[in-house]
Amino acid sequence: QLQLQESGPGLVKPSETLSLTCTVSGGSISYSSYFWDWTRQPPGKGLEWIGSIYYSGRTYYSPSLKSRVTISIDTSKNQFSLKVNSVTAADTAVYYCASRIVGATTDWGQGTLVTVSS
Amino acid sequence: QSALTQPASVSGSPGQSITISCTGTSSDVGGYNYVSWYQQHPGKAPKLMIYDVGNRPSGVSYRFSGSKSGNTASLTISGLQAEDEAEYYCRSYTSADTYVFGTGTKVTVL
């Protein structure tokens, strides 16, 4: 079982860039069976898949966020990261990183709340 | 891509069976067998309950089962227990090589 931990600022100003990092332990981020996902959940609302990355660097993004999102991977640090540009209050959410084997997301981070406010 | 459609709430008495539906299109639920279900208790991360339509991960109770017919997937909880009270989300792979979640269903044990 993998352990994942999100880290990054809990408060971001409107129009700025949200940046989060997920550190993976208990296994290699380069393991070929895994994809690495970001999912978010606005307060009191449902889950939204943001996107994912494979160890090769291939990325997949939700069409609704694709223009503002970048996911990257650092295999030397066993980490992957999320950037969301030009944030607004609508980007306020708990952000989760997770590991996925094809369609099954088996291990999740505890989640980190990011608030967009001036 | 639009969120998959789930009922907002489902309730049942202890010991009963309930079924949660998840309706999509032929471009997601109907087109692929990559439907998964997640249980989420308040303030907690989601937990995988079913993957690939009807497969149960190790450690998940046999009381949870999944199926699919056409563009609608279903999660059935049999022998409902108090600990099953939570929010449940379906998720499907899509033809755009992305994933989409359902709107979520709150399960209440009466």
Q: Please check the confidence at residue B58 and state whether its pLDDT lies above 90.
A: yes
Element (H, E) at A17: none
Q: A105 and B38: CB-CB below 8 Å?
A: yes
Q: Give me the residue from B3, B45, B102 closest to A109, CB to CB.
A: B45
Q: How confident is the model at residue A103 (pLDDT cuts 50, 70, 90)?
A: confident
Residues of A with CB under 8 A from a CB of B: 37, 39, 46-49, 51-52, 60-64, 96, 102-106, 108-111
Do residue B1 and residue A62 have CB atoms under 8 angstroms apart? yes
Write out pLDDT tens, residues A22-59: 999 999 999 999 999 999 999 999 999 999 999 999 99
- Closest alpha carbon within chain B to A1: B58
CB contact under 8 A, B98 and A62: yes
How many Cβ atoms are within 10 Å of B19's Cβ, its own excluded?
A: 14
Tens digit of each residue's pLDDT (9 = 90 or more) over A54-84: 999 999 999 999 999 999 999 999 999 999 9
Residue in chain A nearest B53 by alpha carbon: A103
Residue with tokens 């997937």: B73
CB-CB neighbors (< 8 A) of A65 in chain B: none
* Shortest Cα–Cα distance, A51 to chain B (Å): 7
Pick from B22, B15, B21, B35: which is nearest to B84 by CA? Answer: B15
Q: Return the HEC string of chain B.
A: CCCEECCCEEEECCCCCEEEEEECCCCCCCCCCCEEEEEECCCCCCEEEEECCCECCCCCCCCEEEEEECCEEEEEECCCCHHHCEEEEEEEECCCCCEEEECCEEEEEC
A29, A34, A51, A32: which is closest to A96 by C-alpha? A51
Position A15: which residue type? S
Chain-chain contact of B101 with A48 (C-beta, under 8 angstroms) = yes
Confidence of residue B62 (pLDDT cuts 50, 70, 90): very high
Chain A residues whose CB is inside 8 A of the B104 CB are 46-47
Quick check: B36 and A105 CB within 8 A?
yes
Chain B residues touching residue A39 (CB < 8 angstroms): 46, 101
Is residue B1 predicted with pLDDT exceeding 90?
no
Q: How far is A73 from chain B (nearest CA, A)?
A: 18
